[in-house]
Chain A
Amino acid sequence: MNLVLHFITSFIASAAFGILFNAPKRTLLQCGFSGMLGWAAYILLGYRLDTIYATVASTIIVGVVSQIFARTYKKPVIIFSVSGIIPLVPGGMAYDAMRNFVEKEYNTAIQLAAQAFLISGSIAIGLVLSEVLNQIIRKIRMPRPKKVRAK
């Protein structure tokens, strides 16, 4: 029950963020879907793994799904990946860190800020990894004729 609620809310939240980011109308459902997949992976992996590993893994999933969507709908990857990573992004944590700073709780604040920085770093790593994966797969699938000629 709880998981179903998470699925529904993350789908709606990502699609709604698609509206805020002015994503093309026909891509809103896909945006919601990639956000839902990412969040589901994050929640399920979060039971076993550390937050950072869970974030990297779920961002890779978001990235791969976005690449697939991008190829099927002939749109840039960024449309799907941006809405997909929104639930994972440590916005709440960044805000929490700042609130602690302003309230003079410096120790907690620094801890939270470091964590937020690491998590956003791991999101970036996940996105880059999925792009690299995509490039490798593409190169293995269709070896370029140019290279043959060069030999």
Chain B
Amino acid sequence: MNDTAAVDEQEPIEVCLLAGKIMLQSGAETYRVEDTMTRIAKALGLAGSHSYVTPTGIMFQSDDMRWAKLIRIVERTTDLQKVAAVNDVSRKLSSRDVTAAEARALLMDIDTSRHAYPVGLQIAAAAISSGCFTLMFRGSLFDFLPGVVCGGLGFLAFILLHRLVKVKFFAEFSASFLIGIVASVLVMAGIGKELDKIIIGSVMPLVPGLLITNAVRDLMAGHLVSGLSRGAEAFLTAFAIGAGIAFVFTIL
């Protein structure tokens, strides 16, 4: 009986941490994560909770009497579906439509759910958006097709390599290297005119544009640690991509 009481006490904290973890892993900004956790805590009756969120871990304390809990975040992607789903759960909790146990089950489901679009569709989307970006950056119409080809191949290489080796830097480097090679070969073969435009368009799906912006937003909101570390992550990615392309130019 003592055991069940302890579990009951732990449940609201677990729900808060799980929600925070999913949101942070799905690319929500730091202040949004903290806001959601505080709101859930309030709805579950945890008074005076504190959360400290950084891109690599979350610390959460419900009140003075209980221990603080820590959760480690290893991988971060952008997954808007999950952000929306957690938001729904938090809303339902606030309006008392679900209990803590139900919310926990819902969050578990969200946590294990996979990407809603098949990999083939994702690669197609990356390819088409690369072609479009080539045109938007004032490339000529001849550059559209090479942009599509390079963007698709690059993204495919990125996904495959990232599955194979868990080092993101390496996957990004090799993907952009492949993009550079294919783009140069296509331009040499007379398909496509402006190499620069093609390359910039096709690396867009890999480029950390969103990370940079989120880093600045975090800094502005006063989350200095998160902002700086997200900036470092963005810098590393940009460095990997730039190095991959530069490598191609030194070879040729």
> A residues near B, CB below 8 A?
5-6, 9-10, 12-13, 16-25, 27, 39, 75-76, 78-79, 82, 85-87, 89-92, 94-99, 101-103, 116-117, 120-121, 123-125, 127-128
Contact = CB atoms under 8 A, between A and B. Distances in A.
Q: Closest 9 CB pairs between A and B?
A: A98-B242, A89-B209, A91-B207, A91-B209, A102-B246, A16-B129, A9-B132, A16-B125, A13-B132
Given A13-B136, A121-B216, A98 B210 contact: no
B243 A98 contact: yes
A67 to B, nearest CB: 14
Interface in B148-203: 200, 203
Interface of B: 27-29, 32, 78-84, 87, 115-117, 121-122, 125-126, 128-129, 132-133, 135-137, 200, 203-205, 207-210, 212-213, 215-217, 220, 234, 238-239, 241-243, 245-246, 249
Nearest to A19: B125
B132 A120 contact: no
Nearest to B90: A76
A22 B132 contact: no
A10 B132 contact: yes
B200 A95 contact: yes
Contacts of B200: 92, 95-96
12 contacts: A5-B135, A9-B135, A10-B136, A23-B80, A85-B213, A89-B212, A91-B208, A95-B242, A95-B245, A102-B243, A125-B220, A128-B217
Contacts of B78: 20-22, 82
Contact of B220 (A86, A102, A103, A128): A128
Contact of A12 (B128, B238, B246): B128
Contacts of A127: 213, 217
Given A95-B238, A102-B246, A22 B212 contact: no
Given A9-B136, A123-B213, A78 B83 contact: yes
Given A78-B29, A92-B204, A94-B209, A24 B81 contact: yes
B238 A98 contact: yes
Given A24-B81, A75-B87, A99-B245, 19 more contacts: A6-B136, A9-B135, A16-B129, A19-B122, A20-B78, A23-B80, A78-B28, A78-B80, A89-B213, A92-B200, A92-B207, A94-B234, A98-B238, A98-B242, A99-B242, A101-B239, A120-B213, A124-B213, A128-B220
B209 A12 contact: no
A16 B245 contact: no
Secondary structure at the A interface, as helix, strand, loop or mixed, is helix
Nearest to B91: A74
Contact of A82 (B80, B82, B117, B122): B80
Contact of B212 (A13, A94, A99, A128): A94
Contacts of B137: 92
A22 B126 contact: no
Given A21-B78, A24-B81, A97-B242, A120 B129 contact: no
Contact of B125 (A20, A85, A96): A20
Contacts of B241: 95, 98
Contacts of A19: 117, 121-122, 125
Contacts of B217: 124, 127-128
A128 B222 CA distance: 13
B249 A89 contact: no
Given A91-B204, A98-B238, A124-B216, A76 B83 contact: yes
